Amino acid sequence: MNVALTFRRSAPSGPLPWLVAGAWVAWQLATRDAGVTWGWDESMHAELPAARLALYLRAGDLAGAFEAIHSCTQYPFVWPTILGITQAAFGLSEAAARVAGVVLFGLTMVGAFQLTRSVASRLALGERESRFAAWGALAACAASPLAGAYAGTLFHAVPFACVSTWTLIAWSHRDPERPLSDVLAGAVFAIAFFTKFNYAVLLGAILTADFLFEWLFVARPAGLARQMWGRGLRLALPVVTLSCWWFFLPLPGGSELAAVHRDAFLGFLQGNLEVDYLSPARRLVEWAAGLHAHPRLLLLAVSGVILGMRTVGKPGGHLLGAATLVPFAAIWAHPFHLDRFLVPFAPALWSFAAIGLTTWLWRDGGLRRMASLLALLCIVPLGGVDSRALADAVGLVPPAGAQRDYVYSELERLGQLGEGRRVPTAGLGRESAEAMLDAIAGAVTPMERVGWLGISSELSPAALHLGLLERGGEEERFLRDAHREVDVTFFGVDPSWSDERLREWASSYEVILMTDPPDLGGRRAREFMRAYQERLLGLGWEATFLGNYEWQGAAGELQSVQLFASRSSQ
């Protein structure tokens, strides 16, 4: 099994894939919709630690920088660190943060190209077939509406897609004659593990399956078992070392911080197991009209995967086979589902599908290739009609006229690749958010402590503090307060506070913000917070009206909210 010789037969890919990916990045940035601000997950779990890290790095405060890194508990630190370093160099900016995600998916596209070339080389495909398959994988990445939508956000899906694709490349380049290649593959996987824990568990299952296949089914030279044990230890060394630092000895922190990291990790992996299963119909539409531009391209990808199954008994083929079947089976079976879950492992699926289609197209010569090209040309222009027909067929379209029109318009946006595409941040409209933040900044001084007596998924505490910092707030206040809780509870369950507990909480702030309704999204489960607002006023706090604001809600309805700033009169 001389992997090294196999790779040397593969010609270099040249700069063209990089140029195409660069053109895609430029296109996405030129058509970016800046009309929506960042939502809860983006601001709380990515930009907040990144902004703290950036400020500490610019001040030369390494202890503070490590504190910001260690604050990444629910979601690990790699993506916030990339964002923090970027903004330490170019300044704190939502635009700069979003550019980073788009660039990372450009790197993912190149990675899909290189991964396909690498595996095709191990499968002994010819140079023309290898390049054809690689360009097919890259084109599939570029033509994915979900990938384009999430590339412009701060969710962890695209960063993990990038690092997982390059992990598979490093893994496919392992060579028993070069021990450092195993260490490198393990190091890239360690980066993936600390990019997103739950995705990394699936990636680890993929790599383990490939390693076991290699161990069990390759030719058995003398000393194979000892050699494979040694390779396994080298592969595991980087992630074990990094995990020991994070979970057991998080220097410069101590054992208490290690316990926080362990508890957050276990809680994250055990979360969302008791939710209702999202319907197969909804999942199918997201796979067919979101991950792919329309259902017929999904059929093309599925056909490629089926054809590619003939290669799973060969080195490289079983790696991509596992990278396709393991994560997508788990995503389909898991009760909790969001469309962004499809993005991290999609490049591997498209690489596998491209290789499967290519091996079939080249088997019987030019006639089959010409017929397939004509079929593809017939498929591509028929996107929106197919998406609507699929949604109708599986029962996702309401019968009422206005609701039906709204679902159709969302399906059209779901399949947009350029201007007019979805902006899935779950944040407020920018005009309304900036008007609210302007009013709040005018009502507080740069160092005052600010609380929020209400619950807001649309304007998070991190977004509030970032907005105040942008509007003349002190960096000292941001570093002091932005990572602390500003509300009574985020969950829709009344904590049953007494007046004494409410008074103690309120005494921590100079200004407490309130809205009517208490939740910006108008969720009934959070209406109990209105009673706390009334009780706070009864404890001697006085509310000043700051304005009335409106925006379009997630389902197209008009939302309206009144904003107040309260101060103690005592």
For 413-423, the pLDDT digits (tens) are 888 888 888 88
Contact 64, 51 (CB under 8 A): no
Q: Is residue 557 classed exposed, middle or buried when 0-12, 13-18 and 19+ CB atoms within 10 A define those classes?
A: exposed
**564 is in which domain, residue-wise?**
430-568
The answer to whether residues 318 and 443 belong to one domain is no
Domain assignment present for 113 = yes
Q: Could you tell me the two tokens for 368?
A: 């089959």
- Look at the chain and report how many structural domains it folds into: 2
**pTM given for the model:** 0.91
Residues forming a β-bridge with 512: 451, 566
The answer to whether residues 346 and 437 belong to one domain is no
Q: Could you tell me the two tokens for 103?
A: 């660039």
Range with the lowest mean pLDDT among 62-66, 131-135, 233-237, 365-369? Answer: 365-369
Contact 324, 354 (CB under 8 A): no
Return all residues near 234 (Cβ < 8 A) that are at least 6 apart: 179, 182, 183, 186
Q: Helix 346-361 vs helix 366-379: angle between axes, to the nearest 10 degrees?
A: 140
pLDDT digits (tens, 9 = 90+) for 448-490: 999 999 877 888 999 999 999 999 999 999 999 999 988 888 8
Q: Is 551 helix (H, G, I), strand (E, B) or coil?
A: strand
Instruction: Give pLDDT, residue 3.
Output: 39
Residue positions counted in the chain: 570
Q: Could you tell me the two tokens for 546?
A: 């700051």
Domain assignment present for 60 = yes
Provide mean pLDDT across the span 373-393.
66
Would the pLDDT of 238 be above 90?
yes
The answer to whether residues 62 and 160 belong to one domain is yes
The dihedral over CA atoms of 271, 329, 337, 99, expressed in degrees to the nearest 10, equals 100
Domain assignment present for 405 = no
Provide mean pLDDT across the span 435-444.
96
Cα 136 from Cα 131, distance rounded (Å): 8
The answer to whether residues 332 and 469 belong to one domain is no
Cα 296 from Cα 148, distance rounded (Å): 19
Instruction: Give pLDDT, residue 427.
Output: 86
Would the pLDDT of 382 be above 60?
no
Q: Give the torsion sign (CA, 479, 482, 483, 486).
A: positive
The answer to whether residues 54 and 201 belong to one domain is yes
Cα 27 from Cα 96, distance rounded (Å): 16
Would the pLDDT of 525 be above 60?
yes
Q: Which of 320, 353, 386 is at the close of a domain?
A: 353
Q: Which of 297, 322, 353 is at the close of a domain?
A: 353
Return all residues near 25 (Cβ < 8 A) that are at least 6 apart: 102, 103, 105, 106
Share of the chain above pLDDT 70, in %: 92
The answer to whether residues 342 and 434 belong to one domain is no
Cα 525 from Cα 498, distance rounded (Å): 20
On the CB side of 86, how many CA atoms lie within 13 Å of its CA?
Answer: 21
Local confidence band at 491 (pLDDT 50, 70, 90 cut-offs): confident
pLDDT greater at residue 11 or residue 443: 443
Local confidence band at 9 (pLDDT 50, 70, 90 cut-offs): very low
The answer to whether residues 121 and 246 belong to one domain is yes
Residue 175 φ/ψ, nearest 5 degrees: -140, 120
Helix (H) or strand (E) holding 561: strand 558-568
Provide mean pLDDT across the span 403-429.
83
Local confidence band at 7 (pLDDT 50, 70, 90 cut-offs): very low
Domain assignment present for 8 = no
Instruction: Give pLDDT, residue 221.
Output: 60
The answer to whether residues 175 and 294 belong to one domain is yes
Contact 424, 153 (CB under 8 A): yes
**β-pair type (541-552, 558-568):** antiparallel
Instruction: Give pLDDT, residue 365.
Output: 59
The answer to whether residues 293 and 154 belong to one domain is yes
The answer to whether residues 118 and 256 belong to one domain is yes
Provide mean pLDDT across the span 111-129.
92
Residue 546 φ/ψ, nearest 5 degrees: -105, -20
Instruction: Give pLDDT, residue 376.
Output: 64
Contact 111, 162 (CB under 8 A): yes
Cα–Cα nearest to 39, from 422, 425, 338, 340: 425
Contact 568, 519 (CB under 8 A): no
Instruction: Give pLDDT, residue 426.
Output: 84
Cα–Cα nearest to 569, from 519, 520, 523, 512: 512
Instruction: Give pLDDT, residue 371.
Output: 65
Would the pLDDT of 537 be above 60?
yes
Cα 253 from Cα 84, distance rounded (Å): 20
Cα 106 from Cα 152, distance rounded (Å): 11
Q: What is the DSSP letter of 310?
A: G
Q: Which of 319, 353, 387 is at the close of a domain?
A: 353
pLDDT digits (tens, 9 = 90+) for 68-90: 999 998 899 999 999 999 999 99
Instruction: Give pLDDT, residue 362.
Output: 77
Q: Could you tell me the two tokens for 126?
A: 């010819």
The answer to whether residues 196 and 304 belong to one domain is yes
Query: What integer best gives the mean pLDDT of the chain?
Result: 88
Instruction: Give pLDDT, residue 370.
Output: 62
Domain assignment present for 413 = no
Domain assignment present for 381 = no
Q: Is 133 helix (H, G, I), strand (E, B) or coil?
A: helix
Local confidence band at 373 (pLDDT 50, 70, 90 cut-offs): low
Would the pLDDT of 171 be above 80?
yes
Domain assignment present for 438 = yes
Provide mean pLDDT across the span 59-76.
93
Cα–Cα nearest to 358, from 428, 310, 416: 310
Contact 116, 320 (CB under 8 A): no
**CATH number (domain holding residue 549):** 3.40.50
Instruction: Give pLDDT, residue 207.
Output: 93
Instruction: Give pLDDT, residue 442.
Output: 95
On the CB side of 199, how many CA atoms lie within 13 Å of its CA?
Answer: 30
Domain assignment present for 390 = no
Would the pLDDT of 2 be above 70?
no
Q: Is 448 helix (H, G, I), strand (E, B) or coil?
A: coil
Highest mean pLDDT among 271-285, 467-481, 513-527: 467-481
Instruction: Give pLDDT, residue 551.
Output: 78
The answer to whether residues 297 and 435 belong to one domain is no
Would the pLDDT of 162 be above 50?
yes
